[in-house]
Amino acid sequence: MIRIVRVRDYEDMSRQVANIISAQIILKPNCVLGLATGSTPIGAYQQLVEWYKKGDVDFSQVSSYNLDEYRGLNGDDPQSYRYFMNENLFNHVNIDIENTHVPDGSDPDADATCAEYDAMVAAAGYPDLQLLGIGNNGHIGFNEPDDHFSYGTHCVDLTESTIEANSRLFDKIEDVPRQAYTMGTHTIMSARAIVVAANGEKKAQAVHDMVYGPITPSCPASILQLHSNVILVADEAALSLCK
């Protein structure tokens, strides 16, 4: 079941998502968080940093597992998702950096990298709360539209639409990696609770298909209809087709 929380705008969405994350940490200080990257969660991370600085939230016992990483980038690369997480959250709160995990994009051995990451997430007991964005084409993590739902962490070829969407973060589109390591949909569905953040008109069709469309791997996010505890936090523009 997907519960919908309607918000006014990006700032309101960010505050609501941060509220859900901070509540999870307060309820279970040693919780496992599944985290996402991209432009959507930046505002929520900024809000969490602000609350941490005020003494309202304590990350000292928290562990985290990120959804994905570009293949071919090491964690020191400014375009890597490890770098993104350090810059937008980890370096500004009291989380133990040893308890933060991102797939190793620098390891060219895809099978070994993915198997190791799957084992770590499973050993942690899977996330208590998984944060997701949703792509314009309905992808979650880097699980792109396909003819089947993915299982564990795996290497994916990014679609042209995803490469184009992510090119805004690179100097030129040719610099965007063509592959990534990502948690599979089965791993994502193993989280005890999931919060999806979405804003903007470009996400409207994907949001509609996620909530009201058929459950199909051509819209990977649609599988979330089968999860028992999903909250969608979205602004009016993203919900414009959900009447």
Which residues form the catalytic set?
68, 137, 139, 144
Residues near 137 by Cβ (< 8 Å), separated by ≥ 6?
Answer: 144, 145, 159, 161, 162, 206, 219
**C-alpha atoms less than 13 angstroms from C-alpha of 133 in its C-beta half-sphere:** 25
For residue 122, count other CB atoms closer than 10 A to its CB: 12
Is the Cβ–Cβ distance between 121 and 186 less than 8 Å? Answer: no
Q: Residue 23 has which token pair? A: 């509540």
Of 108, 94, 35, 109, the C-alpha closest to 60 is 94
Listing from the earlier edge strand, what are the strands of the sheet with 129-132?
Answer: 2-7, 230-235, 194-198, 129-132, 32-35, 63-66, 100-101
Listing from the earlier edge strand, what are the strands of the sheet with 179-182?
Answer: 68-70, 179-182, 154-157
